[in-house]
Amino acid sequence: MKNVVFIISILLLYSCKNENNSHFSFPIQLLHGNSAKVWILSKSNISTDPYFSSLENYRKTLTFHSNNTFRDQELIHLGSNRGQTGKYKIKKAEKDSNYEILLNYSNEETLKLSIHSISNSKLVVKARLNPAAIWEFNTLKAPKI
Protein backbone atom coordinates (compact mmCIF):
# COMPACT_ATOMS: atom_id res chain seq x y z
CA MET A 1 0.00 0.00 0.00
CA LYS A 2 2.85 2.38 0.85
CA ASN A 3 4.43 1.71 -2.54
CA VAL A 4 1.20 2.58 -4.36
CA VAL A 5 0.83 5.86 -2.43
CA PHE A 6 4.49 6.67 -3.09
CA ILE A 7 4.16 6.00 -6.84
CA ILE A 8 0.95 8.03 -7.09
CA SER A 9 2.60 10.91 -5.20
CA ILE A 10 5.57 10.90 -7.56
CA LEU A 11 3.28 10.83 -10.60
CA LEU A 12 1.24 13.74 -9.25
CA LEU A 13 4.34 15.80 -8.51
CA TYR A 14 5.77 15.04 -11.94
CA SER A 15 2.47 15.99 -13.60
CA CYS A 16 2.35 19.28 -11.68
CA LYS A 17 5.92 20.06 -12.68
CA ASN A 18 5.20 19.41 -16.36
CA GLU A 19 1.96 21.41 -16.19
CA ASN A 20 3.79 24.41 -14.69
CA ASN A 21 6.41 24.33 -17.42
CA SER A 22 3.82 24.47 -20.16
CA HIS A 23 1.99 27.55 -18.84
CA PHE A 24 2.55 30.72 -20.79
CA SER A 25 2.93 33.66 -18.42
CA PHE A 26 2.65 36.50 -20.94
CA PRO A 27 -0.61 38.50 -20.52
CA ILE A 28 -1.72 37.93 -24.12
CA GLN A 29 -5.16 39.47 -23.51
CA LEU A 30 -3.47 42.88 -23.21
CA LEU A 31 -2.24 42.51 -26.78
CA HIS A 32 -5.47 41.42 -28.48
CA GLY A 33 -8.17 42.36 -25.95
CA ASN A 34 -9.71 38.85 -26.14
CA SER A 35 -10.93 39.62 -29.67
CA ALA A 36 -9.12 42.31 -31.68
CA LYS A 37 -7.21 45.38 -30.56
CA VAL A 38 -5.82 48.26 -32.60
CA TRP A 39 -2.43 49.73 -31.66
CA ILE A 40 -1.37 53.05 -33.22
CA LEU A 41 2.32 53.99 -33.54
CA SER A 42 2.51 57.27 -31.63
CA LYS A 43 6.27 57.74 -31.03
CA SER A 44 9.61 56.64 -32.40
CA ASN A 45 13.04 57.43 -30.98
CA ILE A 46 14.39 57.95 -34.53
CA SER A 47 13.45 61.31 -36.04
CA THR A 48 13.75 60.02 -39.62
CA ASP A 49 11.93 56.72 -38.99
CA PRO A 50 10.18 55.77 -42.27
CA TYR A 51 7.57 53.77 -40.32
CA PHE A 52 6.45 56.80 -38.29
CA SER A 53 4.33 59.59 -39.77
CA SER A 54 3.87 62.97 -38.13
CA LEU A 55 0.47 63.12 -39.88
CA GLU A 56 -1.88 61.32 -37.53
CA ASN A 57 -4.12 59.82 -40.25
CA TYR A 58 -1.14 58.08 -41.88
CA ARG A 59 0.33 56.52 -38.75
CA LYS A 60 1.10 52.82 -38.72
CA THR A 61 -1.44 50.63 -36.94
CA LEU A 62 -1.18 47.02 -35.88
CA THR A 63 -4.42 45.14 -35.21
CA PHE A 64 -3.87 41.93 -33.25
CA HIS A 65 -6.63 39.31 -33.27
CA SER A 66 -7.10 36.52 -30.73
CA ASN A 67 -6.64 33.87 -33.47
CA ASN A 68 -2.96 34.97 -33.82
CA THR A 69 -3.45 36.96 -37.01
CA PHE A 70 -2.66 40.64 -37.46
CA ARG A 71 -3.13 43.47 -39.94
CA ASP A 72 -0.53 46.22 -40.49
CA GLN A 73 -2.03 49.32 -42.12
CA GLU A 74 -2.21 53.10 -41.97
CA LEU A 75 -4.78 54.60 -39.62
CA ILE A 76 -6.67 56.17 -42.53
CA HIS A 77 -7.34 52.67 -43.95
CA LEU A 78 -8.54 51.18 -40.67
CA GLY A 79 -11.59 48.99 -41.25
CA SER A 80 -10.68 48.24 -44.86
CA ASN A 81 -8.82 45.29 -46.34
CA ARG A 82 -5.83 47.46 -47.23
CA GLY A 83 -2.48 46.82 -45.63
CA GLN A 84 -0.45 43.72 -44.93
CA THR A 85 -1.65 40.70 -43.01
CA GLY A 86 0.04 37.77 -41.36
CA LYS A 87 0.38 35.63 -38.27
CA TYR A 88 2.08 36.56 -35.03
CA LYS A 89 3.72 34.58 -32.24
CA ILE A 90 4.74 35.60 -28.74
CA LYS A 91 7.88 33.94 -27.46
CA LYS A 92 10.45 34.35 -24.75
CA ALA A 93 13.51 36.28 -25.91
CA GLU A 94 16.69 34.22 -26.09
CA LYS A 95 19.01 36.77 -24.47
CA ASP A 96 16.88 38.00 -21.56
CA SER A 97 13.61 37.35 -19.75
CA ASN A 98 11.56 39.68 -21.97
CA TYR A 99 9.09 38.59 -24.60
CA GLU A 100 9.11 39.12 -28.36
CA ILE A 101 6.35 39.48 -30.89
CA LEU A 102 7.27 37.76 -34.15
CA LEU A 103 5.28 39.23 -37.04
CA ASN A 104 5.26 36.79 -39.96
CA TYR A 105 3.79 38.68 -42.90
CA SER A 106 1.99 36.81 -45.69
CA ASN A 107 4.68 37.99 -48.14
CA GLU A 108 7.27 35.99 -46.14
CA GLU A 109 8.79 39.05 -44.41
CA THR A 110 9.36 38.83 -40.67
CA LEU A 111 9.65 41.57 -38.07
CA LYS A 112 10.76 41.03 -34.47
CA LEU A 113 9.45 43.38 -31.81
CA SER A 114 11.03 43.05 -28.34
CA ILE A 115 8.46 44.04 -25.74
CA HIS A 116 9.80 46.59 -23.25
CA SER A 117 6.44 47.19 -21.55
CA ILE A 118 2.76 46.53 -22.10
CA SER A 119 -0.38 47.78 -20.40
CA ASN A 120 -4.02 47.99 -21.38
CA SER A 121 -3.45 51.16 -23.41
CA LYS A 122 0.30 51.40 -24.10
CA LEU A 123 2.82 49.09 -25.77
CA VAL A 124 6.54 49.92 -25.97
CA VAL A 125 8.67 47.73 -28.23
CA LYS A 126 12.11 47.69 -29.77
CA ALA A 127 11.78 47.03 -33.50
CA ARG A 128 14.62 44.87 -34.80
CA LEU A 129 15.34 47.04 -37.83
CA ASN A 130 18.47 48.69 -39.13
CA PRO A 131 18.83 50.88 -37.12
CA ALA A 132 16.81 49.47 -34.22
CA ALA A 133 13.95 51.74 -33.17
CA ILE A 134 11.99 52.10 -29.95
CA TRP A 135 8.32 52.40 -30.84
CA GLU A 136 5.49 53.44 -28.56
CA PHE A 137 1.99 52.32 -29.51
CA ASN A 138 -1.26 53.50 -27.94
CA THR A 139 -4.74 52.09 -28.34
CA LEU A 140 -7.62 53.95 -29.91
CA LYS A 141 -9.36 56.25 -27.47
CA ALA A 142 -13.11 56.68 -27.16
CA PRO A 143 -14.38 59.90 -28.75
CA LYS A 144 -14.95 62.88 -26.48
CA ILE A 145 -18.56 63.99 -26.40
- Residue pLDDT, tens place only, 63-111: 999 999 999 999 999 999 999 999 999 999 887 778 999 999 999 999 9
Q: How confident is the prediction for the chain on average, in pLDDT?
A: 88
pTM across the whole model: 0.80
> Using a CB cutoff of 8 Å and minimum separation of 24, what contacts does 95-103 make?
99/26, 101/31, 101/125, 103/62, 103/70, 103/72
Question: Comparing 61 with 145, which gets the higher pLDDT?
Answer: 61
- Residue pLDDT, tens place only, 26-56: 899 999 999 999 999 999 999 999 999 999 9
For residues 125 and 101, is the Cβ–Cβ distance under 8 A?
yes
Query: According to the model, what pLDDT value does residue 145 have?
Result: 87
Q: How confident is the model at residue 11 (pLDDT cuts 50, 70, 90)?
A: low
Query: According to the model, what pLDDT value does residue 114 have?
Result: 95
Element (H, E) at 112: strand 110-118
Query: According to the model, what pLDDT value does residue 12 have?
Result: 62
- DSSP assignment string, 52-110: --SSGGG-EEEEEETTSEEEEEEGGGTTSS-SEEEEEEEEE-SSSS-EEEEEEETTS-E
Q: Residue ranges per domain, the chain?
A: 26-139
Return the SS3 of 7.
helix
Class of domain 26-139: mainly beta
Query: According to the model, what pLDDT value does residue 46 have?
Result: 95
Q: Find the angle CA(72)-CA(73)-CA(78) to the nearest 5 degrees.
A: 120
For residues 137 and 40, is the Cβ–Cβ distance under 8 A?
yes
Query: According to the model, what pLDDT value does residue 123 have?
Result: 98
> Which residue from 132, 91, 137, 103 is spatially nearest to 117, judged by alpha carbons?
137
